[in-house]
Structure 1
Amino acid sequence: MKKIVLVLIFTFLSMILIGCQEKSQLRIITPAGSPTLAQLYMQEDTEKYSVDVVNGADPLVAAFMALTPTHDIIFAPTNLGARSYNSGSNYLFAGTVVWGNYYLISKDKTTFDMASLEGQEIIVFGQNQTSDIIIKYLIDELNISVTIDYVDSVANAAALYMADQTKIVMVAEPTLSTIASKVASLQVIDLQAIYEDVTGESSYPQSGIFVLNTLSKRQINQVLSDLKASIDHANDNPSETGILAEELEIGFTALIVEAAIPNSHLNFTNALDSKAAIEDYFNRILALNPALIGNALPGDDFYYQP
């Protein structure tokens, strides 16, 4: 009888241990652009991470709302993460990685500043995403009337600009550096500087990292440690990072990535330290269009706590 009991106990404990085994490789999804640059040195470590780089918001929405999770880690606009959380997703906000990275570009304008946009058409990528939020917020605060023509990705916005360089187009790094390398006398409006003039805040929490809530704290803390190291190394070594980006075939040359990193505003700030900036930014969105964050500020359990 004792032997039977011991066997049953051993079997039960074995099942628990098997159930608690952590995945050896975590799957990441990230939009092309600056969030991809942020995690580049994680992507290099193929034993720990498998990375899907995507264009547009649709694959990110699908990842957030999948009934059976397809990814352990999602890099995404912060408002998209909040909206998904308010819709019942299983991902926690673990930190900000990009602090503002949007620019308006054109060419051959006599004057190219915010006032000169009055009555103009602007091509904007990512309807109802952070890019859209920022441009709408700024033109509203500055009382500027424009027509917005949407495309689904920064790549498509860039293609339209290259077809007609007199257009006014919203872009982000590294696309900005790509265009600047091809277009002489490119005119640029830095929307981070405009945002600071309007709000008094140095920038806004554009993109963040979201982690599946079934991951262990040990796993999540290791991910965040790896991410911070990746961002710090990219900022400190843009030339080396450019070479790695080209090796990983993320779609940009080494020289473009090297040029893009200083204007990408990569900086890891953990969830709790980001909270004040997140809530300030989300309150501005609530005043603009509440649906863009799911009609309410996310609760405290939205924020990962180590």
Structure 2
Amino acid sequence: MKKLLMLPISLVLCLTLITGCGSQAGSSAQSQSEETLGAESQASGEEVQVEDSSKAQEEPAPEEIADATDTADTTVRVMALKGPTAMGLVELMNESETGVVNGNDYEFTIAASADEVTPKLVQGETDIAAVPANLASVLYNNTDGQIRVLAINTLGVIYIVDTGDTVHSAADLKGKTIYASGKGATPEYALNYILIKNGIDPEKDVTIEWKSEHAECVAALAASEDEGIALLPQPFVTTAQIKNDRIRIALDLTQEWDKLQKDEETPSALLTGVIVARADFIEEHPEAVSAFMDSYKKSVDYVNGNVEEAAKLIEKFDIVPAAVAQKALPYCNITFIEGAEMKDKLSGYLSVLLEQNEKSVGGEIPADDFYYERQGK
């Protein structure tokens, strides 16, 4: 698009009578999370491009400026954490490097921890973020409902692995020692749910040795002779397998969860990540949000359908090395689920967490306005 005239958006808003209405998450919110996203807007510096400068000098009619506004590009600031919830974005990230995509101009940031993402989202310095599913609920509750979830982007990525080929069902975990990290977060809640629903008391029937890092779990596996069992997420499972070929995926906790939910009227799912947006950004830029969702779904489909090429992009954007990504992608459960199905799966998942620890979801299940639904979708 030729940049012949840059017209301040404040003038455009006045002439076209366009109106719009414009999260806090303290350390307690951040401690419940594993991944997030951020972006920063320029409140007074946004500009609209108009193709013909002579028309602007002749004081164009309001309808002419309205047309320019309707076709103008919106800057969308997006953050994601290194890991599975960022992987589905890479095709869109790559495409955006060459210019505007579907009417949006993107600014992407890949963060190392949720502590970087949460404040930017809460303070309005990012528009859309990929965050852990339970963190989205915490943010909603801690900001008086100023966060909306757009879609589920990652199902469960947690696996039981062993080094002795001793675990083939959840029942086989009884009496065993399990090395795990993530106490007080999703890994603990998911493991407890699977154990309890299979008649295993997490306090009496198994020994869970909680480690501070995934690497400690892998070290414990290596020290075990033939009975090592650990709870690990992807892509760390793949990284560990590359270093130790004795490590075998024994159980996929996402599949185990689905087995337990199959007879429910509205089955929930084990979830890792979701895409959220600030409520005021959605209200001010509904078309930009819808365009992002279309482009993001396309990106997810590309990543799932072109693993080798996607792995190269994942390395390009410094998420994980391509060799790890290529092996891990089939196990990362990257997806795009929106609308009613999203609400059913996410609300059910949050309900399971609430039963175990209400702080994990911010004290209560979010109200219906938490679940964003596009018109006509």
State TM-score, norm by structure 2.
Answer: 0.68
Asked if the contact 1:123–1:157 (Cα under 8 Å) also holds between the matched residues in 2, the reply is no
1:231 is aligned to 2:286: no
Change in 2 beyond 3 A, CA 1:131/1:120 = same
Which residue, 192, 198, 207 being the options, matches 2:260?
198
Match of 1:212 in 2: 278
Change in 2 beyond 3 A, CA 1:28/1:127 = farther
Change in 2 beyond 3 A, CA 1:203/1:62 = same
Asked if the contact 1:282–1:297 (Cα under 8 Å) also holds between the matched residues in 2, the reply is yes
Which residue, 163, 174, 184 being the options, matches 2:245?
184
Change in 2 beyond 3 A, CA 1:11/1:59 = closer
Match of 1:137 in 2: 193
Aligned residues: 291
CA distance in 1, matches of 2:288, 2:241: 40
Q: Which amino acid aligns with 2:215?
A: A
Match of 2:229 in 1: 168
Which residue, 62, 70, 81 being the options, matches 1:31?
81
Match of 2:141 in 1: 86
Instruction: Show structure 2 runs of 5+ residues with no match.
Output: 1-10, 19-42, 48-72, 98-104
Superposition deviation, residue 85 in structure 1:
0.5
Instruction: Show structure 1 runs of 5+ residues with no match.
Output: 1-9
CA distance in 1, matches of 2:119, 2:207: 29
Q: Which amino acid aligns with 1:204?
A: L
Change in 2 beyond 3 A, CA 1:160/1:289 = closer
CA RMSD of aligned residues (A): 3.1
Asked if the contact 1:78–1:208 (Cα under 8 Å) also holds between the matched residues in 2, the reply is yes
Asked if the contact 2:179–2:220 (Cα under 8 Å) also holds between the matched residues in 1, the reply is no
CA distance in 1, matches of 2:364, 2:317: 39
CA distance in 1, matches of 2:120, 2:230: 28
Q: Which amino acid aligns with 2:108?
A: S
> What do the CA deviations read for 1:67-108 (whole angstroms, capped 9, x no partner)?
x22321121121210121011163210010112221012313
Q: Whose radius of gyration is greater, 1 or 2?
A: 2
Change in 2 beyond 3 A, CA 1:58/1:112 = farther
CA distance in 1, matches of 2:272, 2:292: 20
Change in 2 beyond 3 A, CA 1:293/1:174 = same
Percentage of identical aligned residues: 21
Asked if the contact 2:83–2:320 (Cα under 8 Å) also holds between the matched residues in 1, the reply is no
Asked if the contact 1:235–1:266 (Cα under 8 Å) also holds between the matched residues in 2, the reply is yes
Q: Which amino acid aligns with 2:137?
A: A
Match of 2:21 in 1: none
Change in 2 beyond 3 A, CA 1:20/1:53 = closer
Which residue, 20, 30, 42 being the options, matches 2:92?
42
Asked if the contact 1:112–1:187 (Cα under 8 Å) also holds between the matched residues in 2, the reply is no
Superposition deviation, residue 119 in structure 1:
4.6
Q: Which amino acid aligns with 2:214?
A: A
Q: Which is worse superposed, 223-232 or 102-111?
A: 102-111
State TM-score, norm by structure 1.
Answer: 0.82
Which residue, 80, 90, 101 being the options, matches 2:157?
101
Superposition deviation, residue 120 in structure 1:
4.2
Superposition deviation, residue 113 in structure 1:
4.3
> What do the CA deviations read for 1:23-78 (whole angstroms, capped 9, x no partner)?
854332222221011111233224512212323x44444445x3x22321121121
Change in 2 beyond 3 A, CA 1:285/1:11 = closer
